[in-house]
Amino acid sequence: MPRLSDRICTLNDAGSDGWEVFYRAREMVAAGERVIELTIGEHDIRTDASILEAMHTSAMSGHTGYAMVPGVRDLRKAVAQRVEQRTGVPTKAENVLITPGGQAALFATHMAACQPGDTALYIDPYYATYPGSIRGTSAVPHAIRTRADNAFLPDRTELATAARTTQAKSLLINSPNNPTGTVYPRETLMDIADVCKQEDLWLISDEVYDTQIWEGEHLSPRALPDMAERTMVIGSMSKSHAMTGSRVGWIVAPKEAITRLIDLATATTYGVPGYIQDAALFALNAGPELEAKVAEPFARRRDLVLGILADQNTVTAIPSAGAMYLMLDIRASRLSGRDFAERLLDQHRIAVMPGESFGTSAAGHIRLALTTDDAKLAQAVRELCAFAKDLSQ
């Protein structure tokens, strides 16, 4: 076999993708064991039947050929209107590229922002694919560490220093955040915007959880003064409409950037299937009730878990205000997040993600995905707390 490129061989730099507990839990389930899985960020409900009917109708009426590469005009318009309504920033169809999910948008935005060898900043803890997405574009990922006692929010001075010393070209942020559930307050976003302007960075704002806000409100940094011209926003139907498998999302960016991103889409994905785009358009037009229905179980389960945690003092939750996750501090158990998760799986058949799977800042923590029914979730959290307490004594 001829040699494979260094780029592809080093995509997964650490040699481990941090999902071992997840894979092991899946193997146990396949072998017939009962495991409570709190690992993956995927709804326990399926895509709403009305969306699937729209998909079916579109496909049956012939929308199965190549679709427009930048996206179906009406969907681009609907996304633009949605973004304009929510942020007040004037947004046209020309500012929108439809992508096969947020993941493809993460890759494309870094392709647009960085030359090979340029530094791309991102915040630790982070969604597991970030460094690989950046490396895939031949940019160099540089993580900015954060601290649990500051709710994993980035510090302005540290950001500015990192940007300057690495001569970074982009900064990737994610609010509401996976894995922590943190929603960045206005002051943090203002600091981030200032650093981006001072250091001439592109801000890549991953907002795929923007419909999952339990406290306060979501603020898109594209709406901050002078930020629309240097911000690329990533959106997705995956989390807002339980459409993870449909692979449809978008990038909102300055028109000139979208023009180039369309060239990239032509050279790579060649667009998103027309019947999927029609289903996405139907779903967006279905209005906020459908989105609220998809988000509601996570709000309820978050309260449920916080209620259980209030009755003990070994495990504490990182203050969170959105997304389908809770990050728990299990340092009192004297185990690393990884050892805790491995032992919890072996001894209690409960699968959670080690904080270490999301970088170094969340060591000694575990992430719960609130994607299992309430009764099982409550049982798992009670067992988890008892397990941590035993270890702490």
> Which residue type is seen at 367?
R
Question: CB of 323: closest distance to ligand PMP in angstroms?
Answer: 8
Q: Which is nearer to ligand PMP, 103 or 314 (CB)?
A: 103
Tokens 């979208």 belong to 258
Question: CB of 66: closest distance to ligand PMP in angstroms?
Answer: 21
Question: CB of 99: closest distance to ligand PMP in angstroms?
Answer: 8
Q: How many residues does the chain have?
A: 393
> Which residue type is seen at 272?
V
Largest CA distance in the chain: 65
Question: CB of 23: closest distance to ligand PMP in angstroms?
Answer: 16
Q: Which is nearer to ligand PMP, 210 or 356 (CB)?
A: 210
Residues 370, 375, 378, 382, CA torsion sign: negative
For residue 106, count CB atoms less than 10 angstroms from its CB and return exposed for 0-12, middle for 13-18, buried for 19 or more. buried
Beta-carbon neighbour count of residue 131 at 10 Å? 22
Question: CB of 155: closest distance to ligand PMP in angstroms?
Answer: 21
Tokens 């995905």 belong to 369
Which helix (H) or strand (E) segment holds residue 351: the answer is strand 350-351
Strand partners, 145: 124
> Which residue type is seen at 318?
I
Question: CB of 249: closest distance to ligand PMP in angstroms?
Answer: 4
Q: Which is nearer to ligand PMP, 309 or 352 (CB)?
A: 352
Question: CB of 100: closest distance to ligand PMP in angstroms?
Answer: 8
Q: Which is nearer to ligand PMP, 63 or 239 (CB)?
A: 239
Q: Which is nearer to ligand PMP, 127 or 387 (CB)?
A: 127
User: Which positions touch ligand PMP (CB under 6 A)?
Assistant: 41, 101-103, 127, 174, 178, 206, 208, 236, 238, 244, 249
Question: CB of 103: closest distance to ligand PMP in angstroms?
Answer: 3
Q: Which residues contact 27 (CB under 8 A, 6 or more apart)?
A: none
Helix, strand or coil for residue 56? Answer: helix
Q: Which is nearer to ligand PMP, 250 or 387 (CB)?
A: 250
Contact of 220 with 86, CB cutoff 8 Å? yes
Rg of the chain over Cα atoms, rounded to whole angstroms, equals: 21
Strand partners, 143: 122
Q: Which is nearer to ligand PMP, 324 or 380 (CB)?
A: 324
Beta-carbon neighbour count of residue 61 at 10 Å? 11
Q: Which is nearer to ligand PMP, 167 or 360 (CB)?
A: 360
**What tokens were used for 276?**
């999927």
